[in-house]
Structure 1
């Protein structure tokens, strides 16, 4: 049963992980919708994620765009650095490929659009992440399109939200890409 909006993020994360295990992998459909959406906006450089098990895999975007990915760093404070997609050659503590520490860095100011993974999103664009706050710290000044990528059954009416929580402008699922209506 889905938690209420009044419940905490821990309950929502537990629900989302369980729900995600029931959803078939329709990554090809998600990627096709994203290609059309990004090309229509003349996007060239996209910050994307390396998919964890259960997340939509967006690696099919590589032939169409200049992709960047992130490396999680924990000192002096947790933050993300951006690197060319193809430099992701080592396994991270999260179990996905990431660029090595000495990989060339790329500035966020060169990015045209950002695709964000999550456990769930709500219809207001609120993201339920994994609890590290990495994207919340990276993107407050980013002005390009931010697209939450998630399976459609993980888009809910309302999630708990704190003032620092990032909201996206668009949601991409296997059913298409839609703008957030506030």
Structure 2
């Protein structure tokens, strides 16, 4: 875990995103170590079908998990309501507006209730499992209907003590880093005014 150089307790998500983007450019690629830990964790949990992601530059690449698991790739849909749809991994051949590969609009869809685990990328996570994403809210719309394993995939140096969270944010239950896969503690209740 790395702390920003100044006191970030009053930072908004935009400031955190700027810090995380800069920080992850300076760190080595830990994809192989993270994927090895994830593979063992998922096997031990009896997982077979996994919603993964096609990595953006700076994100841990989990594509090697396709050797041992049935991976699915998400497609971001913007109309009528922003949402993710799930598709076979190999169909992710079309560039998305975010700069990663996604399945085409007509790729066969797979139901969320058939998925054992969801792997979430992020710019950063906090120790409570709160994800700092890219601002689209796609995973926050997907996860309330999901009851399987949720795993944030991130370099250890991008786990921070606390990120700003909103009511719609869905913390993950596990964090996978180059040091292993760790259970996220239950966040303490915050006092309200």
Conservation of the 8 A alpha-carbon contact between 1:43 and 1:112:
yes
2:178 aligned partner: 174
TM-score, structure 2 normalization: 0.92
Structure 1 residue aligned with 2:124, among 120, 127, 135?
Answer: 120
Aligned-partner Cα distance in 2 for 1:63–1:7: 40
1:147 aligned partner: 151
Aligned-partner Cα distance in 2 for 1:159–1:110: 31
- The answer to whether structure 1 residue 74 and structure 2 residue 43 are counterparts is no
TM-score, structure 1 normalization: 0.98
Aligned-partner Cα distance in 2 for 1:127–1:2: 21
Aligned-partner Cα distance in 2 for 1:2–1:162: 23
2:58 aligned partner: 54
- The answer to whether structure 1 residue 101 and structure 2 residue 101 are counterparts is no
Q: Which runs of 5+ in 1 are unaligned?
A: none
1:19 aligned partner: 23
Following superposition, the deviation at residue 77 of structure 1 comes to 1.6
Aligned-partner Cα distance in 2 for 1:171–1:34: 10
Distance 1:155 1:149, change over 3 A: same
Aligned-partner Cα distance in 2 for 1:72–1:5: 32
Conservation of the 8 A alpha-carbon contact between 1:115 and 1:149:
yes
- The answer to whether structure 1 residue 33 and structure 2 residue 37 are counterparts is yes
RMSD over equivalenced CA pairs, Å: 0.8
Following superposition, the deviation at residue 147 of structure 1 comes to 0.1
* Aligned-partner SS, 1:62: helix
Stretches (4+) displaced over 3 A = none
Distance 1:144 1:2, change over 3 A: farther
Aligned-partner Cα distance in 2 for 1:131–1:5: 20
Q: Name the count of aligned residue pairs.
A: 182
- The answer to whether structure 1 residue 6 and structure 2 residue 10 are counterparts is yes
